[in-house]
A and B are shown apart, each in its own frame.
Chain A
Amino acid sequence: DQQVKQNSPSLSVQEGRISILNCDYTNSMFDYFLWYKKYPAEGPTFLISISSIKDKNEDGRFTVFLNKSAKHLSLHIVPSQPGDSAVYFCAASPPMRFGAGTRLTVKP
């Protein structure tokens, strides 16, 4: 059961521009949302999270937005850098469920 969906398998942006990664969920009981970043041959690493009582959380170049009514969250990366190229997983809990991931490529 795909309770967390990332409908874009890949995204390519130019260095310096904004990257927007999207995620939808179906379970209205989820109250905590996270983004993880994964490089090849490594495990996912935690990037940023947001509680359902908030609609925005910012950490440096990374901002996560939550729209509970639409069951949608997004991750904005501004400005994008080549080192941001990785697979990004959206997750929601409880229980913890992950999306299929979006491969972000930032071109110099």
Chain B
Amino acid sequence: KAGVTQTPRYLIKTRGQQVTLSCSPISGHRSVSWYQQTPGQGLQFLFEYFSETQRNKGNFPGRFSGRQFSNSRSEMNVSTLELGDSALYLCASSTTVNYGYTFGSGTRLTVV
């Protein structure tokens, strides 16, 4: 079966712009979580959605937002980009919250 698909794979944006990243979970998975990976910081939790409802949110500023659609696909948006937002953004899906995560390959965002 198809894995978790994240698009685009790579993105270069300018400071102040906004960006939208997309995640298509494994078929049948209703939970989608987003993580930011930066060198030395590991995987920082952004938010988790289950059946279109945000179940959990990490300690990120309000510039970071997300949503989940009825088909379980999810998007995250970052507004007013800063240089420090450059990172690998990873999406994970599972059948239920908190367990059995399968990760996508990530979107590498570079802010210049």
Per-position binary interface string of chain A over residues 25-57, scored 1 when its CB falls under 8 Å from any chain B CB and 0 otherwise:
000000010101000011111100000000000
Contacts of A95 in B (CB 8 A): 45, 48, 56, 97-98
| B32 interface hit (Cβ, 8 Å) | no
Distance in Å: Cβ of A44 to nearest Cβ of chain B: 5
Contact A45 B103 (CB under 8 A): yes
Contact B43 A89 (CB under 8 A): yes
Contacts of B45 in A (CB 8 A): 95-98
- A17 to B38 CA separation, bound complex (whole angstroms): 30
Contact B103 A89 (CB under 8 A): no
Distance in Å: Cβ of A7 to nearest Cβ of chain B: 12
Binding site for A on B (CB under 8 A): 4, 33, 35, 40-43, 45, 48, 56, 59, 90, 92, 97-106
Q: Which of B40, B48, B59, B103 contacts A44 (CB 8 A)?
A: B103
Q: Which of B33, B40, B42 contacts A96 (CB 8 A)?
A: B33
Contact A43 B99 (CB under 8 A): no
Per-position binary interface string of chain A over residues 76-99, scored 1 when its CB falls under 8 Å from any chain B CB and 0 otherwise:
000000000000010001111111
Distance in Å: Cβ of A93 to nearest Cβ of chain B: 4
Contacts of A32 in B (CB 8 A): 98-99
- Chain A's interface size range is 20 to 34
| A59 interface hit (Cβ, 8 Å) | no
| A100 interface hit (Cβ, 8 Å) | yes
Contact B103 A93 (CB under 8 A): no
Contacts of A34 in B (CB 8 A): 101
- A6 to B99 CA separation, bound complex (whole angstroms): 20
Distance in Å: Cβ of A40 to nearest Cβ of chain B: 10
Contacts of A101 in B (CB 8 A): 42-43
In the complex, which residue of chain B has the Cβ closest to the Cβ of A97? B45
- A82 to B31 CA separation, bound complex (whole angstroms): 34
Q: Which of A9, A43, A97, A99 contacts B104 (CB 8 A)?
A: A43
